[in-house]
Amino acid sequence: MKAALYIRVSTEEQAREGFSIPEQTERLQAFCLAHGWTDYALYIDDGYSAKDTHRPAFQRMLADIRSHEVQVVITTKIDRLTRRLIDLLSFVNELDLCQCTYKSASETFDTSTAVGRMVLQLLGVFAEFERERIAERVHENMYHLAKQGKVVTAPCFGYDVVNGLYVLNAEEAKWTRKMTAMLLDGHGTWTVAKMLNDHQVRTKRGREWTLKAVRTYLWNNEMLRGNTVWNRQFRKNGKLIERPASEWLLVENTHEPILDPDTYDQLQLVLRQNRRIAPRSKNSEFLLSGLVYCGHCGSKMYGLNASFAGSGKAYRPPAKYLCSGYSKKGHCFHHYIHTIDLDKHVMNEVFRLAEAALAQELDGVSLQATTLQEGLAHTKRQLSAMDERFARQLRAFELGIIDEGELAEARMRLTAEKNEAAAKREALECALQSAHSPERIQEQMRSKLAQLHSGVHGQEEQASLQAIIRECIHHVTIYNGSQIEIHFCL
């Protein structure tokens, strides 16, 4: 019979008596000798917490158990295995399926009997309780350290930690200010990321910059204006979740800022305005995906490029943008526009404006305030259309067409959409109050259109071309599948 001797020690347990790797190894080997087991293998996780089972040696042992190479698992104590009851129960169930048993060198029970499994589960409850109490104490200590302005988290790009304090990294801070200036001048996050990568500038982790990395770094990063935020996020089941702002600990003036308050606020406004495109739209095969809206119901029009089989032959009709309000929710009417026609029309308009911009004229282009007003009116129409959609759902419920569950589902879906639209409306209203001068706006438009002109003729990849398009076009509205309204960004 082959035994698996599992040994684990977390960072905070390294110095505690009885927990070191040599002590656990010696004790487990003596336990095997007492039972006459000579065939065993060591599985050692050095510096890993028992809060989950994402540990290399544990996973390797689990693989050997599933392949029936191990017949018994031994630890010095049950908390070496895990401190979460659900993980313990899952592991014991896995052992039962693989006809493997578990033994503890210091706790006597037999998992092959009902009493033994009950004792194991009770021990697991206390192990989980102990872990949570340790986590509470660590959290409390870190809270007090953070409140005193001491370093409790790794520094972001632009800062280093010296003698327990955040110290400005002059070289990285220079690039942060350059990133901010480009965004305030009308460039997008794709352009900023490309600029950084072209200059061989890397993130704090030594990686290349991406659109997401630029946005994540600059969005709501209080460190940039000299403040420290702690307790903002927590990890659950491997996912990073953001806590409500009321639970954050904000400590002001803990280090030298990179951006002054006014510049920081302007940057947040620009980033908030650019949050209108769904992430999946940026990876779409359709050039204008996420930008096309139905002028009748306010719903998005999505790209459709499907093939059909008939008479033994496959048929693929021309790709088109179709109103999702009709195809997915049935509250509009059937209308569409072919993607090749819309893309061509939009690009022709963009090039027309590009030529005008390069000639130092912007005839026919509305100033920023006009565009923002149009965007605000469009968002308000969307909100009004959402109210009408729910009223129709309510009438359908009264007539018995849908049941109470379907009505509740529709209400939840519409509430989420309304919250998103309301946030967009608020951002547009804020932007209207801080619109730039016509001269500044014209200069920004010239820069964007010139960049697009260069990108299209320079054989850019689809993703890059989409990013450039989104820097120029706010959205496109379609009426009756033929009338096209283009709303430009300024």
Q: Which residue has the tokens 């259109």?
A: 449
Name the burial class of residue 242, with classes exposed (0-12), middle (13-18) and buried (19+) by CB atoms within 10 angstroms of its CB. Answer: exposed
The string of DSSP codes covering 149-213 is T---S---TTEEEETTEEEE-HHHHHHHHHHHHHHHTT--HHHHHHHHHHTT---TTS----HHH
Q: The tokens of 451 are what? A: 């960049």
Q: Of 228, 222, 224, 250, nearest to 168 (Cα)? A: 224
CA atoms within 13 A on the CB side of 427: 20
Phi, then psi, of 465 in degrees rounded to 5: -65, -40
CB 471 within 8 A of CB 444: no
Nearest Cα residue to 200 out of 190, 208, 212: 208
Residues 6+ apart with CB under 8 A from 361: none
Using DSSP bridges, classify how beta strands 473-479 and 292-294 pair: parallel, antiparallel or unpaired: parallel
| Sequence-ordered list of residues with C-beta below 8 angstroms from that of 45, at least 6 positions apart, any chain | 6, 7, 8, 9, 55, 56, 57, 58
Query: Which string of DSSP letters, residue by residue, matches 8-48?
Result: EE-GGGTTSTT-SHHHHHHHHHHHHHHHT---EEEEEEET-
Distances from the Cα of 255 to the Cα of 149, 150, 151, 158, 175, angstroms: 9, 10, 10, 12, 18
Rounded to an integer, what distance in angstroms lies between the CA atom of residue 174 and that of residue 451?
Answer: 24
Q: Is 10 assigned a catalytic role?
A: yes
Amino acid, res. 445: M
Closest CA to 305 of 343, 332, 279: 343
**Whole-angstrom distance, CA of residue 280 vs CA of residue 439:** 35
Active-site position among 10, 284, 366, 464? 10
Q: Using the 8-state DSSP alphabet, how is residue 461 labeled?
A: -
Tokens of 202: 């890397």
Catalytic residues: 10
